[in-house]
């Protein structure tokens, strides 16, 4: 007789639940309206590196969206319980926070009761392969306040990905209306130009990426405005997230030189021995 496989657990509102059982209320505004935030974090040796930086960004997003902020001690306890229950040493953790259930319509409840969901995933088995980027026909508005938060509403990114797929690409690269490069649909953009590793500044309307902040704080990378006219000059490019570094093989019709040694070095710095205390982040240079 075959043994029943016990599914992994998730953590929802102070309780562990089997991950294959329905748990979110049908009236939850995150489900109905995308009214919420999330953070995706690396799990390394039973711990979440840079947890303080992720929680700081989550709290800033809660303040912007007027969502009650969960206590850090609650999140830390939940992470410990979930990681132990799922017997994970390495992998990733996703924290999802919504405004919680509410009445029909857009107006939020006067006294929201937020939903906090935490899930885990095993690590990637292999580094991501080089990808092709399509320059999206969408344009990023540098003045939108939502650029600063990891919103649950991902429809612009989904549409950009679909457009990229229609053009035979893997992901999309967003430009501003003035033609400045910003970021991809779910990752910071890094480029090698004139032998220097650079990334667009926050003024272009990009998310304050934590991996990006680490590279800037360590002096490995610097901010520089890049336009679509600079693409033929790039000596290499990557997408960076909290979980992985993805080389870019081409942007539009322009192929980029592979940089395997630089890719290996960046992965070693960012993911092989992640730091547990993040650099101080500021709104102007390294967020």
- Arithmetic mean of pLDDT, 251-255: 96
pTM of the model: 0.91
Phi, psi of 164 (to 5 degrees): -60, -45
Separation between Cα atoms, residue 229 and residue 124, nearest integer Å? 34
Q: Are strands 196-199 and 222-223 parallel, antiparallel or unpaired?
A: parallel
Helix H or strand E encompassing 214: helix 210-217
* Residue located via tokens 């309780």: 15
Is residue 277 predicted with pLDDT exceeding 50?
Answer: no
Closest by CA to 151, choosing from 240, 53, 33, is: 33
Backbone angles phi, psi at 197, to 5 degrees: -90, 125
Residues 6+ apart with CB under 8 A from 262: 192, 197, 236
Distance CA 217, CA 225 (A): 18
Rounded to whole angstroms, the Cα distance separating 172 from 6 reads 38
Cα–Cα distance for residue pair 101/254, rounded to 1 Å: 47
Q: Is the pLDDT of residue 2 over 90?
A: no
pLDDT higher than threshold 60 for residue 286: no
Residue 274 has what pLDDT? 57
Percent of the chain with pLDDT strictly greater than 70 = 92
pLDDT digits (tens, 9 = 90+) for 48-101: 999 999 999 999 999 999 999 999 999 999 999 999 999 999 999 999 999 999
CATH code of the region 9-121:
3.30.470.10
Tokens 């939903």, located at residue: 115
Would strands 91-98 and 115-121 be described as parallel, antiparallel, or unpaired? Answer: antiparallel
Residue 111 φ/ψ, nearest 5 degrees? -130, 85
H or E segment to which residue 260 belongs: helix 260-267
Predicted confidence band at 124 (pLDDT cuts at 50, 70, 90)? confident
Strands 15-18 and 222-223: unpaired
Could you tell me the two tokens for 171? 């992901």
The rounded mean pLDDT for the chain is 92
Domain regions of the chain by residue span: 9-121, 131-272
Distance between CA atoms of residues 74 and 15, nearest Å: 11
The distance of Cα 201 from the centroid of its chain, to the nearest Å, equals 17
| The residue count for the chain | 287
Show the tokens assigned to 127. 């580094």
CATH fold label, 131-272: D-amino Acid Aminotransferase; Chain A, domain 2 (3.20.10)
């Amino acid at each position: 007789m075959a043994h029943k496989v016990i599914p992994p657990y998730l953590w929802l509102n102070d309780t562990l639940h089997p991950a294959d059982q329905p748990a979110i209320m049908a009236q939850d505004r995150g489900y109905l309206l995308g009214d919420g935030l999330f953070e995706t974090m690396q799990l390394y040796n039973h711990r979440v590196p840079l947890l303080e930086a992720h929680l700081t960004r989550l709290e800033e997003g809660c303040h912007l969206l007027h969502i009650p902020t969960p206590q850090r001690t609650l999140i830390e306890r939940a992470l410990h319980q979930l990681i132990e229950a799922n017997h994970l040493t390495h992998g990733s953790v996703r924290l999802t926070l919504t405004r919680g259930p509410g009445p029909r319509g857009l107006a939020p409840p006067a006294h929201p009761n937020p939903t906090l969901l935490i899930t885990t995933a095993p690590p990637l088995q292999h580094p991501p392969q080089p990808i092709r980027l399509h320059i999206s026909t969408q344009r990023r508005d540098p003045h939108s306040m939502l650029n600063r938060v990891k919103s649950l509403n991902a429809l612009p990114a989904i549409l950009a990905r679909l457009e990229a797929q229609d053009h035979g690409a893997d992901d999309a690269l967003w430009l501003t209306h003035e033609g400045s490069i910003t970021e991809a649909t779910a990752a910071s953009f890094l480029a090698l130009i004139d032998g220097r590793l650079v990334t667009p500044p926050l003024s272009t309307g990009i998310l304050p990426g934590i991996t990006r902040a680490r590279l800037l704080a360590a002096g490995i990378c610097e901010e520089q405005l890049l336009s679509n006219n600079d693409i033929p000059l790039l000596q290499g490019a990557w997408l960076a997230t909290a979980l992985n570094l993805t080389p870019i093989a081409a942007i539009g019709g322009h192929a980029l030189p592979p940089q395997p040694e630089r890719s290996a070095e960046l992965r070693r710095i960012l993911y092989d021995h992640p730091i547990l205390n993040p650099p101080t982040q500021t709104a102007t240079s390294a967020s």
